[in-house]
Amino acid sequence: MLKETKQMTDEIPISNGAVSYEAAGWYAIDWQKAHQNVKRLQARIVKATQENRWGKVKALQHLLTRSYSAKALAVKRVTENTGKRTSGVDKQLWDTPNRKVTAIQELRQRGYQSAPLRRIYIPKSNGKQRPLSIPTMKDRAMQALYLMALEPVAETNADPNSYGFRKERATIDAVESCFKYLSQRYAPQWILEGDIKSCFDKISHEWLLQHIPMEKSILRKWLKAGFMEKGMLFPTQEGTPQGGIISPVLANMALDGLEKALKGHFTKNRGICPKVYVVRYADDFIVTGVSRELLEQHVKPFIEAFLKERGLELSQEKTKLTSIQEGFDFLGRNFRKYNGKLIIKPSKKNFQSFLDKVKKVIKHNKAVSSADLIAYLNPKIRGWSVFHQHTCSSKTFRTVDAQIFWAIWKWALRRHPRKGKRWIKAKYFRPYANRQWVFTGQATKRDGRIIYPRIYFASDVKIKRHIKIRGAANPFDLTWEVYFEKRIADKMRKALQGRKQLIYLWNEQKGICPICQQRITTETGWHNHHIVWRVHGGKDTSDNRILLHPDCHRKVHQLGLTVVKSRRSQSGVIEA
């Protein structure tokens, strides 16, 4: 698959027939083998957890967190995610291959001490500010390392209807779970909309240290590290910092057990079923019930007692009781029954927030070309419409298209105050398919074809029913491997919807990066690589393109490698 354009054998010492990782450097690491080693240990942790063999779990976690493969993957994760260019209080970044290799050797438990967090604030939609704590690169890598050992336990013991910050689960799974419980004729009619007050900032350290199955000394150092703000060190007596890689899993584990506790306490009594069901996404959740009195007088106090043990409490301003006939908003959707039929559609708040963002982009780009404006808008329109394509959104999509059209029309009128409307229409709008007014950019010639960039229409997105993930599905359990492979493939095709060349390449490669032999997913990201660069005469056709992981793409360029496509077999696998 790879053809080296420079001789490297003189630079890489060979020991016992194998390449030395330390000598060869970052790009010589066998990532396929590293993933296999970690995956095998995680599967063993799942099995031991299912059998309640906690001594075995502890031994396997110790083995995983000391393995070279896990340390390499931990460094890889923190140097490839969106926060890779954001430093902690030490102002250090791991931005070179040599520094990454050195970082692997530095991930040692003996003598490890967590550094204080760098505190910043980000604005919230209600005008308040959310505190965000940024660990150093080393602390992030240590958290990523221990997360590999903790996540299999968390997934095995998680609530079936918990969907936030979990592998291969998304908001639409939570929405479908709500549909399952509320759509039937005899479904519960009352909903408790729950919101936990400052969940990440208030979790009890004592509860976490007592109940989280990981090395207590390491966990304590993270929890008690404190944070730096305006040059001053502030201690942390409670909470797990927002911004830490392991924090979402710790918060989920603190809340896991709520569904089981409610189900065990509110059972069928004297032939009456209370219909108490829970759907949770991170710290937002709903609880259903047959009556307002049941939820207000029994369920809510039970939840408050459950949370109090963990140092948490419900937000009184956001927690409320609602009838399904009135409707309620949850995860950007509105749930309401009309004449006995449940309709789920984008919430007014989510709809208006999206339009405000689009109009802001148009307003702040008054002088750019139409092609550039289209390039700014299309990803936002496509992303929002795909997010809502599994609910009753057709009418909302048409409204969005109309609102965007009028905003663009005003943008065009402002650019040419001395021109007539017919001239403006002819310059910026062209007929396409069955539409006469399609906002179009300046034509470009590519591979002998004339291409017009066009605005993306939300109404072109087809409404599709989503198949909810099974409650017991565990991505670390090998018995579910085939199930998750199919779901990951479906998710990737959805992400590439409307991008025919990318879908073709992904299918041709069977979703595998040819460099590291690992799956290309929405989480890993991808780079559409030109085998022969365009400056060297390469074309944009599929024969001259291949999908690579971003880090694998950097490896190709930094080591001077050339990716070649040779004769393809009938199965579509690209041969060496």
- Where are the alpha helices (H) located in 224-369, listed in sequence order? 247-255, 258-265, 292-294, 300-308, 348-363
Helix or strand or coil: residue 521?
A: coil
Q: Quick one: pLDDT at residue 447? A: 63
Give the H/E segment covering residue 103: helix 97-106
Q: Quick one: pLDDT at residue 271? A: 64
Q: Exposure of 217 by Cβ count < 10 A (0-12 exposed, 13-18 middle, 19+ buried)?
A: exposed
> Can you give the pTM of this predicted structure?
0.87
Written as six digits, the tokens of 42 are 């995680």
DSSP 574: B
Give 15's contacts (C-beta < 8 A, 6+ positions apart): none
Identify residue 410 by its one-letter amino acid code.
K
DSSP 160-173: TTB-TT-TT--HHH
Give 161's contacts (C-beta < 8 A, 6+ positions apart): 174, 177, 259, 277, 278, 279, 280, 471
Give 142's contacts (C-beta < 8 A, 6+ positions apart): 74, 107, 112, 114, 218
CATH fold group of domain 478-559: His-Me finger endonuclease fold (3.40.1800)
Q: Quick one: pLDDT at residue 524? A: 84
Taking every pair of Cα atoms in the chain, the longest distance, rounded to a whole number of angstroms, is 81
Tell me whether domains 158-203+238-345 and 478-559 share a fold.
Answer: no
The number of beta carbons lying within 10 Å of the beta carbon of residue 444 is 11
Phi first, then psi, for residue 89 (nearest 5°) are -70, -20
366-418 pLDDT, tens digit each: 999 999 999 999 999 999 999 999 999 999 999 999 999 999 999 999 999 99
Identify residue 540 by its one-letter amino acid code.
D
Q: How far apart are CA 375 and CA 404, in angstroms?
A: 14
DSSP 324: T
List Cα–Cα distances, 57 to 93, 231, 305, 429, in angstroms. Answer: 33, 41, 30, 63
Q: How far apart are CA 499 and CA 504, in angstroms?
A: 9
CATH fold group of domain 158-203+238-345: Alpha-Beta Plaits (3.30.70)
- Provide the CA 201 distance to its chain's centre, in angstroms: 22
Q: Quick one: pLDDT at residue 566? A: 58
Q: Quick one: pLDDT at residue 198? A: 86
DSSP 519: B
Q: Quick one: pLDDT at residue 131? A: 83
231-271 pLDDT, tens digit each: 899 999 998 888 889 999 999 999 999 999 999 999 877 66
Sign for the pseudo-dihedral over CA of 247, 248, 250, 254:
positive
Q: How far apart are CA 386 and CA 464, in angstroms?
A: 10
Q: Quick one: pLDDT at residue 342? A: 96
Q: How far apart are CA 377 and CA 454, in angstroms?
A: 10
Give 560's contacts (C-beta < 8 A, 6+ positions apart): 4, 5, 6
Sign for the pseudo-dihedral over CA of 195, 201, 207, 209:
positive
Written as six digits, the tokens of 541 are 């056709």
Give 31's contacts (C-beta < 8 A, 6+ positions apart): 72, 73, 76, 516, 517, 518
Domain boundaries, the chain: 22-157, 158-203+238-345, 348-460, 478-559
Q: How far apart are CA 336 and CA 346, in angstroms?
A: 11
Q: Quick one: pLDDT at residue 82? A: 85
What is the mean pLDDT of each successive set of 10 residues along the chain, which is 576 residues long? Answer: 34 34 68 94 97 97 96 94 90 91 93 93 78 92 97 97 94 96 93 92 94 96 92 90 90 95 86 89 95 95 96 92 96 95 96 96 94 95 94 96 97 95 95 92 76 92 93 95 91 81 87 88 85 79 87 81 61 36
